[in-house]
Amino acid sequence: MTILLNKKTKVCVQGITGGAGAFHTRRMIEGGTNIVAGVTPGKGGTFFDEKIPVFDTVVDAKKETGADVSVIFVPAAFAADSIMDAAYSGIELVVCITEGIPAVDMIAVRSFIEQKGTKLIGPNCPGIIAPTVSQSIGIIPHNIAMSGRVGVISRSGTLTYEAIHQLTELGVGQSTCIGIGGDPIGGMDFVDCLKLFNEDADTDAVIMIGEIGGSAEEKAAEYIKSNMDKPIVSFIAGISAPPGKRMGHAGAIISGGKGTATAKIEALKNANVAIAKTPAVIGKTLVEHAKIKTFYKVDC
């Protein structure tokens, strides 16, 4: 019914006592997310909002509460260590919202989490939401989502919200929606997510939102062409961006003639992916391309 999350998912919030961590923890709880612990070094033994235990390390939080997912709201200077703290504890999935983490720090993180077998979403991302099981981990507003059978993957946080909202307004529910972030060195990419959606019997179609820079979209097109027969719609942001200019995310830069929106769109078209011409018609393009009849809201 969903990927990565389920009704039994237990969430630990790293940075729960900070301003952003506290605000979004309360929002996640409002949406039904099962938050069982918080982590703030030096504040172990206290409670957040008098009910959620706070620990000094993720190792302690996992041992005492059984948390299996961690979401990170700590400053950039400490975020890499926070990711590795979670991976060291045996946490299965880490969602890092923090932006501005130095690339050199993320190189070390990538090596460490690969050794530990931990999945990472982000950094510099809005997180993941699975409306079917009422689990929202990160900053995606739970009130714009609706349970259903369409998956969403996006490098852009804002366009993640836009795609979800458009689908909901059209009466088309979502299975799982993932904002993977746009940094040049991160965790899960399009192919990682597409593989999971391809294997999920309860996801019938996918929206994939990319942008200029890098080769993630071209790699996704290769995977789709060889492995997927589910309807896929894509929008690529930055078609008017001049070469050499960074647009938005740190990874969104055209260099050496590579990473252009035009090249990405052509690769996706060759993989039978329908292209939305503007952000305003992402949902409509999915409905038309997938000939939606059965992807509407589902009750679970």
Q: What is the pLDDT of residue 247?
A: 57
Q: In 3D, which of 192, 201, 197, 199 has the Cα closest to residue 177? A: 197
Residue that wins the pLDDT comparison between 244 and 285: 285
Is residue 31 scored above 50 in pLDDT?
A: yes
Q: Which of 64, 68, 39, 41 is nearest to 54 (CA)?
A: 39
For 67: left if phi > 0, alpha if psi spans -120 to 50, otherwise beta; the answer is beta
Per-residue confidence (pLDDT) for residue 256, from 0 to 100: 47
Whether the per-residue pLDDT at 298 is higher than 70: the answer is no
pTM above 0.85, yes or no: yes
| pLDDT for the residue 35 | 98
* Structural contact between residues 120 and 185, judged by C-beta atoms closer than 8 angstroms: no
Q: What is the C-alpha separation between 246 and 227, in angstroms, rounded?
A: 32
**Residue-by-residue DSSP string for 161-222:** HHHHHHHHHTTB-EEEEEE----SS-S--HHHHHHHHHH-TT--EEEEEEESSSSHHHHHHH
- Predicted confidence band at 238 (pLDDT cuts at 50, 70, 90)? confident
Q: Binning pLDDT at 50, 70 and 90, where does residue 217 land?
A: very high
Residue 249 annotated as catalytic: yes
Average pLDDT of the residues in 142-149: 95
280 against 248, higher pLDDT? 280
Please state which CATH class domain 11-121 belongs to. alpha beta
Side-chain-side CA neighbours of 65 within 13 Å: the count stands at 29
Assess contact for 6 and 109: CB atoms under 8 A.
no
Beta strands at 35-39 and 11-14: parallel, antiparallel or unpaired = parallel
Residue 255 has pLDDT above 60, yes or no: no
Residue pair 91/58 in contact by the 8 Å Cβ criterion: yes
Give 247 or 292, the one with higher predicted confidence: 292
In this prediction, residue 300 carries a pLDDT of 44
Q: Distance between CA atoms of 262 and 229, rounded to whole angstroms?
A: 23
CATH 3.40.710.10 given to domain 127-290: no
Question: How do residues 87-96 score in pLDDT, each as one tens digit?
Answer: 999 999 999 9
- Taken as a whole, the chain contains a residue count of 300
Judged by average pLDDT, the poorest of 70-79, 93-102, 194-203, 209-218 is 209-218
Helices of type H across the chain: 19-30, 58-65, 76-89, 103-116, 157-169, 190-199, 216-227, 261-270, 282-290
CB-based contacts of 257: which residues, under 8 Å, 6+ apart?
243
Q: Residue 261: which pLDDT band, with cuts at 50, 70 and 90?
A: confident
Span 143-147, mean pLDDT? 95
Q: What is the pLDDT of residue 296?
A: 55
Locus of tokens 């041992």 = 63
What are the sequence ranges of the domains in the chain?
11-121, 127-290
Question: Edge-to-edge strands of the sheet including 205-211?
Answer: 135-138, 127-130, 174-179, 147-154, 205-211, 232-237, 274-275
What is the predicted pLDDT for the residue at 245?
A: 58
- Across 170-198, average pLDDT: 95
Is it the case that residue 241 has pLDDT exceeding 80? no
Partners of 94 in beta bridges: 70, 120
Q: Round the average pLDDT of the chain to a whole number and report it.
A: 92
The answer to whether the 11-121 and 127-290 domains have the same CATH topology is yes
- Name residues whose C-beta falls within 8 Å of residue 264's C-beta, 6 or more positions apart in sequence: 210, 212, 217, 218, 221, 236
- What is the token pair recorded at 267? 């690769």
Catalytic residue (one of 24, 142, 165, 249) = 249
Neighbours of 291 (CB within 10 A): 10
